[in-house]
């Protein structure tokens, strides 16, 4: 397994981007384990770790089942991703059944850990909220209190030339961000 040398964190953060063009190359099982290891060490309220992940490699029936629940705009490219990961959160604390108002936040942090871990392994991720909640819940047979948060497409970068023209354009477009000054304040708002 060829894991690139350790990189400074900020560079990992900037390198992460939501690609749509994935190569056919499979994600090695050891790397899949590493991705979930990254999630494992994410912080969470009361150390509840309210996340769960269901994953499927291309070729598995489960992969097609997940793709079917995506919005059409996502199906067009995510169906080709070699690995799909469904991020799921539990909305109550296991020990007392009380609502866990941090579950979405904490699951998002675990997802971000996965996405940064992926970059360090030479992989890319693309999170999608564009899926049919109920359809995905049913496909995965999720019990009450478990909710899909995002579907993540994961794999090695492919060639943007293999995407339809509109998506290719988006893939190659410059990334945009608000300036730091637009969201940071050193005074009462």
Give the interface with ligand FMN as residue ranges (CB under 6 A).
Answer: 17-18, 74, 127-130, 150, 175
**Six-digit token string for 25:** 């190359």
Which residue's CB is nearer to ligand FMN, number 91 or number 93?
A: 91
Closest contact distance (angstroms) between CB of 93 and ligand FMN is 23
Beta strands in the chain (DSSP E): 51-57, 83-90, 124-128, 146-155
Q: What are phi and psi of 51, to 5 degrees?
A: -100, 155
Closest contact distance (angstroms) between CB of 52 and ligand FMN is 17
Q: In the complex, which residue's CB is closest to ligand FMN?
A: 130
Which residue's CB is nearer to ligand FMN, number 127 or number 154?
A: 127
**Six-digit token string for 36:** 């979930």
**Six-digit token string for 64:** 């097609």
Task: Decide: 90 and 122 in contact? Cβ < 8 Å.
Answer: no
Which residue's CB is nearer to ligand FMN, number 28 or number 182?
A: 182
Closest contact distance (angstroms) between CB of 161 and ligand FMN is 19
**Six-digit token string for 50:** 């309210």
Which residue's CB is nearer to ligand FMN, number 175 or number 178?
A: 175
């Amino acid at each position: 397994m060829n894991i690139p040398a350790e990189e400074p964190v900020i560079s990992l953060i900037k390198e992460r981007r939501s690609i749509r063009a994935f190569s056919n190359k499979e994600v090695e099982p050891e790397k899949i384990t590493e991705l979930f290891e990254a999630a494992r060490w994410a912080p969470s309220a009361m150390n509840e770790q309210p996340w769960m992940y269901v994953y499927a490699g291309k070729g598995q029936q489960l992969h097609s089942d997940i793709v079917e629940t995506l919005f059409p705009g996502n199906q067009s490219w995510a169906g080709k991703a070699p690995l799909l990961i469904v991020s799921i959160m539990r909305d109550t604390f296991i020990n007392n059944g009380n609502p866990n108002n941090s579950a979405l936040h904490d699951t998002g942090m675990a997802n971000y850990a996965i996405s940064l871990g992926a970059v360090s392994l030479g992989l890319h991720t693309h999170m999608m909220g564009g899926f049919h909640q109920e359809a995905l819940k049913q496909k995965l047979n999720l019990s009450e209190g478990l909710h899909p948060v995002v579907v993540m497409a994961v794999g090695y970068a492919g060639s943007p030339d293999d995407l339809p023209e509109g998506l290719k354009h988006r893939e190659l477009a410059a990334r945009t961000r608000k300036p730091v000054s637009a969201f940071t304040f050193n005074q009462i708002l």
